Each structure stands twice: as C-alpha cells, then as structure tokens.
Amino acid sequence: MESEKEIQNENHERKEEEDLSAKVWAIGIYCGIISLCALPMGWDIGTAGQMVSGERFQDTYKSPSAEKTEEFGKISSVMIGVIVSSFNLGCVIGCIGLSKICNLVGFKRAIVVSSGIHGIGSLIQILCGYNRWNVWAMIFGRVLCGVCCGTACVIAPRFMNHLAVLPNKSMFLSFFQTSVCTAILAGNIMNWVLGSNFIGILICQLIIATLVGVLITVVPESHIHFLNKGNNDGASDTLRRLYTVESEHDEEKLKTMLEKWEGPETLPKRWVTNPSYYIPLVHCCIIIVFQQLSGINYFFYYGAIIFRQIGIDVSLVAIIMGSVNLVGSLVSNLIVGHFSRRTLLLIGSALMTILLGIYLALSVWPFSASQVLLVLVTCSFITCFAVTWGPVAGILINYTSRNINSIIGVTNSVGFISNCIITVLSPLLIEHLGFYISLIFASSMLVSIIYLHSFSYTD
C-alpha cells in the first residue's frame, strides 16, 4: 500500500532519472493499453439505458402485475432503476475489495482477474436473456461486471501513474476518461445497429472484457510493485522498457535508482483519524460526489426515456451525444496539462449550470425549434463535462490522494454509491418531476462553484 514515503521515493527517483531519456512513445502505448480497462465501464453507460428500455428486454422481463405506461414500457420504473444501478453496486465491491489484491499479485494479474470476473458476469447475462431466467440472475451478472469496472477505476489510474515516468503525466492519465467516452459512443452505435437485440449487446461486452484481459499482458508490471516486493530484477526490467539505457553511465544511474529505494511505508492503523490522510480523503469524496451530481449519467442512462417523451429519435441522439462526448474528451487530453485544475472545474460548473437552466426552459416552454435546441443544449452540456469534470475530477483525485490505494478506493466507492442512488431514483424523479429534475443538478453545480473557490488542493 502506498503512502507519503512512497510518493517521496517516486519524486526522489525522478530526480535521479533526469539523465535518463524516457521512451515517451512506449509510455504512451502502455498507458493507452491500460486505459482500455475503462472500456467495459463506458460500454455499460452507452448501452444499459437503451437496453432495459428496449422492446425485447421489456418482453423478456416484464412483470405481469406491472402496469404498462408510455414512458417505462412493461417494467416498473423502480425495477429499471434496480437493474441499471446493480452495476454500480458491483463497482463499490470492486473499489473496496478486489482492488486491494494488486498489492499482493501486481497490477497486471489484478486486471486479468477482474476481466475474468467481468467475462463470467457477461456470460451469465447472455444465458439469462437466451433462456429467460429470472431477472435477479441478470442483476447478479451485472453486479459481477460492476466488480471488474470498480477495480479498474482504482488500479488502472495508479498503474498509469507508475509507468508514466514523466514530469507532466496529466495527458496520459486522461486516457482513461477518453476510453470511457470511446466505449460510450461504440455502445450507442451498437444500440442503433442491433436495435432491441440486447443479447447481441452482451456478446460484444464479453468480447471487450476478453480483449482487455489479453492486451494487458503486453504491458510491463509496475516497477514500484516489484520494488515493494524486493524484486530488483523485475523492477530493472520494467525501467529498461520505460527508459533508454544504452551507455555505462545509464547503467550506473539505473543501478543507483534501485539501490536508493527505501521501500514503502505502510499506512498507520488509525490513518482515518490522521488529518494528513483524512482531509485529502474528504476532499476527494466531495469532488467525486459533485461529479456524479453534475447530471451527466442522467442523460446517458435515461436519455432514451427523456427524448422518447418528446418524440425525438433516441438512437440518433444517443450517437450524437456519444460523438460529442468523445470529441470533448480528446480536446481535454490536449489542454488538461496547460491549465489550472481549479480553473477548468470552475468554468465547467458555471457553464453546465447555465446550460441546465436553458435545458429546463426549453422543456417547460416549448416552441417550434425547441426540440433541435434541446439536443444542441444537451450536446453542449456533455462537451463541457467531457472537457472539465469528466477527466479533471479523476486527475485531481489522483493527485490529492497522493496515489494511495485506500483513499482512491474509498473515494471511488463513494462515487459509485452516489451514482447508484441517482440511477435508482432517476426513473421515479423523471416520472414525478419530469424535466424539473435538472434543477437538482444545476443546484449541485452552483454549490460546487462555492466549494472549489475555497478548495486548496485543486491547483
């Protein structure tokens, strides 16, 4: 488990490595492969909402006692929320529990194990859909898939942080969010191609999980993990793949780096009562709750329900939103290392608050062009999130937590619990509040502006 002493070791190591030339292209490839761990997460975001609202899924899991309504088909709004949010429950388990195995077996093996669990969960869902098993078996499969994604959200950014041995690694860390956005768009497109064939969606999901588990074997294990285990030879092999080591001088520098490693300092038993640990934890948790309360998953998970109510082609709008999200994420990769994190988050909060207000106004007071404007406002909102709160919140949490596994795990668990509550309640709130639900998210963004103004960790 990492702590302040280990972070100091990393900083000291960087100073010692100044004469060594980093293989930026290799680091980029490795971080790109690790970021693929986010694909299952994005795939679920891009497919779950439309999958559960699709005719075939509704017919398979309809409740005879449920009243058929125009908005929610044959499955009750409560059950829709339970099915969608069960994935987030698994994510919480992955964040708190499974992510810790990387300290024992390493990052690569932990990712392979989590990919295997995701594959089992996907297979269960496929069999459930094909054989029309009980809906709770389907929910169990979604929980298993969530375990994989929760694990990835904790260990993948840490893994990239270890291998990106460069002074400014923000761009590499933002690859994770870009992979999420790519998978969301891919899921949207596949929804459009396959229609209500949710079993086909699940088969693609199984293929993605398998691909991630196979590709991660190409990446070298973290040198810090090897050093923590006293395996200097393994650490040396990894560093040779990250740096150009050609001359005798380079060999001496590498040898010196390994000899001066002091080893990790384990966190104190009562670290949660230590201000140097619990204050960053509280800040990280607040930031991730604000991210979830921005309203982004309201659009991605339940956009199909919302836009169907006003007669807009759901599949087309979902593809447009996914495309905008990906473009925004790519833009963020270019600018995230050149601007203050506080500035980006403040700008994002302000613009998203304004756009949510416009969104509500267009919904409550419609006119001839309001449908087109509604889509444009939604896309603008998603762009703002993709450039600011999407990647920057994760990068900020990584820095604020000092890359400590326990803090990152608890933080991500809080985020997934928040998302779970939102996804469960959203169908009910949509049913009773309609478009006025956007006021909740706008209020959250306003509060975030106040908080960020006094948040000392953002810069």
Q: What is the pLDDT of residue 13?
A: 46
What are residue 69's phi and psi, to 5 degrees? -120, 160
Q: Tokens 């990835």 — which residue?
A: 152
Do residues 184 and 46 touch, judged by C-beta distance below 8 A?
yes
Domain ranges of the chain: 4-453
4-453: CATH class: mainly alpha
Q: What is the pLDDT of residue 117?
A: 92
* Residue-by-residue pLDDT tens, the chain, 459 positions: 444 444 445 454 444 444 567 788 888 899 999 999 999 988 988 888 778 877 788 777 765 444 444 444 466 767 777 888 888 888 888 877 776 788 788 899 999 999 999 999 999 999 988 888 888 888 999 999 998 888 888 888 888 888 887 777 777 777 888 898 899 889 888 888 887 788 899 999 999 999 999 999 999 998 888 888 888 888 888 888 888 777 777 778 878 777 776 655 455 566 666 666 778 888 888 998 999 888 887 777 666 555 665 566 666 777 888 888 888 888 887 777 777 888 889 999 999 999 999 988 887 787 777 777 887 888 889 889 988 888 888 888 877 776 666 777 788 888 888 877 877 777 777 777 777 888 888 999 999 998 988 765 545
Tokens matching residue 345: 């988050």
Q: What is the pLDDT of residue 162?
A: 86
